[in-house]
Amino acid sequence: MSWLNPFGRIPTIMTAEEIIDFAQKKSIRVSTRSSLRLTRVDRTRIREVARLQEFAKHAKSKLRMAVEGFPSLDRLHPFYIELAEILVGIDRLKQALGAVYNCIPIIDEITNTHLEALKLADDFKQMKKTRRAAKGRISSVIRATSENLDFIIQAKVTMSRLPGVRPNSPTIVCAGFPNVGKSTLVKAVSTAEPDIAHYPFTTKEVIIGHLTMDSHIVQIIDTPGILDRPMEKRNEIEREAIAALKYLGQVVIFMIDPSEACGWSMTDQYSLYQEVKRMFPVNPVIVAFNKIDITPQEQLDTAREMIPDAHEIVAAEGIGIQQLMKEALDAIDLRSLEEAINDFKSSLSQGETDSMGNQ
């Protein structure tokens, strides 16, 4: 499903040195046909002009691709915008894209000046020198922006690792403290294959699994564990989980481990649950007590008192998960989701009608 990630389709971006090499190879291979009636000087001129033009053309096209291949940051799903901010930094990215793009008119100017000089030159040594000087100056412009190109390449790698999100599918986000069994649940119910381990912070990025329920393709999102602490103290990985809750979670399954085998107390987990409810007051939050197979009765009773309507499950054995998933899907307002999809479809067909009318 990586094609649903707008950063997954960016074509290969070359480094500064790769662009220079590529343009150089293309320019050497350029073949010119000129009439034998021309003087040697004029034939040289034609060849040098063609080489310079070819060099500039390929250098510009690779720079342009680096920028235009990037999805427009203003039109992305907010989940990707927030993650671009957390993982890459949007201002820095925009600045890098702008700087690379700004090389194009500079290359045009250098090319034009040297083409003029080539037209006026009357011996071939001078012509070769002019062509070499132009290529040298263009290469310097590209090298001067190499840090920006490297930054864009790195941003592409980072962003393309994110999962593909279907913005119009019912979406359940599974959240909670580290090590409570979120990945175990997501793996049990969906196509996702997250790593599961007995230590905290096993999941380091948002993972999306799919399942079919009542003829809907439902997305279930596994998130890294979050701790009960102020937002500004949260690390990049936790903030990625919060972004999934904020922008994707039409319903949240908040998982609690009342056995405390996860390493955090019931009180801490309860307080994070309250915070999640406070942060996202609109979306329903369903609580699942996991690991009840190893929870002592007394601890289970205390948990039940704190959150009376929680589901009780053993994710590792699939116990109670059907009922939990059904309640999660029921909590999603499918009607308004279908209306949104229908609006979207009719806006598309409206667009087609408009463009046909314009023909």
Binding site for ligand GTP (CB under 6 A): 178-184, 196-198, 200-203, 224-225, 290-291, 293-294, 314-316
Least CB distance to Mg ion at residue 182 (A): 5
Give the closest residue to 241 by CA, choosing from 270, 207, 217: 207
Min CB(79)–Mg ion separation in Å: 19
180 binds, options ligand GTP, Mg ion, none, Cβ within 5 to 8 A by partner type: ligand GTP
Which one of residues 130, 171, 183, 219 is an interface residue with Mg ion (CB under 5 A)? 183
Least distance between ligand GTP and beta carbon 288 (Å) = 10
Surface-to-core class of residue 224, CB atoms within 10 Å of its CB (0-12 exposed, 13-18 middle, 19+ buried): buried
Between 170 and 224, CB nearer to ligand GTP: 224
Q: How far is the CB of 170 from Mg ion (least distance, A)?
A: 22
Contact between 341 and 168 (Cβ < 8 Å): yes
Between the alpha carbon of residue 129 and those of residues 95, 132, 271, the distances in Å are: 35, 5, 73
Closest to ligand GTP by CB, 62 vs 291, is 291
Whether residue 288 contacts residue 324, with contact meaning beta carbons closer than 8 Å, is answered with yes
CB of 183 to ligand GTP, least distance (A): 3
Output 130 or 203, the one with its CB closest to Mg ion: 203
Strands 216-222, 207-213: pairing kind: antiparallel
Nearer to ligand GTP, 19 or 241 (CB): 241
Contact assessment for residue 11 and residue 67, using Cβ atoms and an 8 Å cutoff: no
145 binds, among ligand GTP, Mg ion, none (CB under 5 to 8 A by kind): none
Q: Please report, as residue ranges, which positions from 193 to 212 form the binding site for Mg ion (by CB under 5 A).
A: 202-203
Q: Which pair of structure tokens corresponds to residue 123?
A: 């011996």
Closer CB to ligand GTP, 180 or 248, in the complex? 180
Residue (76 or 227) nearer to ligand GTP, CB: 227
86 alpha-carbon distance from chain centroid: 11
Q: Which does 314 bind (CB under 5 to 8 A by kind): Mg ion, ligand GTP, none?
A: ligand GTP
Q: CB of 28: closest distance to ligand GTP in angstroms? A: 53
Strand partners, 82: none
Minimum CB–partner distance for residue 203 and Mg ion (Å): 3
Q: Of Mg ion, ligand GTP, none, which one sits near residue 179, judging by CB under 5 to 8 A according to partner kind? A: ligand GTP
Among residues 183 and 295, whose Cβ is nearest to Mg ion?
183
**Size of the residue set binding Mg ion (CB under 5 A):** 3
Would you list the DSSP string of 252-286? EEEEE-TT-TTSS-HHHHHHHHHHHHHH-SSS-EE
> Which of residues 202 and 299 has its CB atom nearest to Mg ion in the complex?
202
H helical segments located in 121-231: 124-144, 146-160, 182-189
**Is the separation of the CB atoms in 86 and 236 below 8 Å?**
yes
Asked if residue 271 lies in contact with residue 193, where contact means CB atoms within 8 angstroms, the answer is no
CA 101/CA 120 separation, integer angstroms: 30
User: What does 227 interact with, of ligand GTP, Mg ion, none (CB < 5 to 8 A by kind)?
Assistant: none
163 touches, from Mg ion, ligand GTP, none (C-beta below 5 to 8 Å by class): none
* Number of Cβ within a 10 Å radius of residue 101: 16
> Computed over its alpha carbons, how large is the radius of gyration of the chain?
29
Interface residues with Mg ion (CB under 5 A)? 183, 202-203
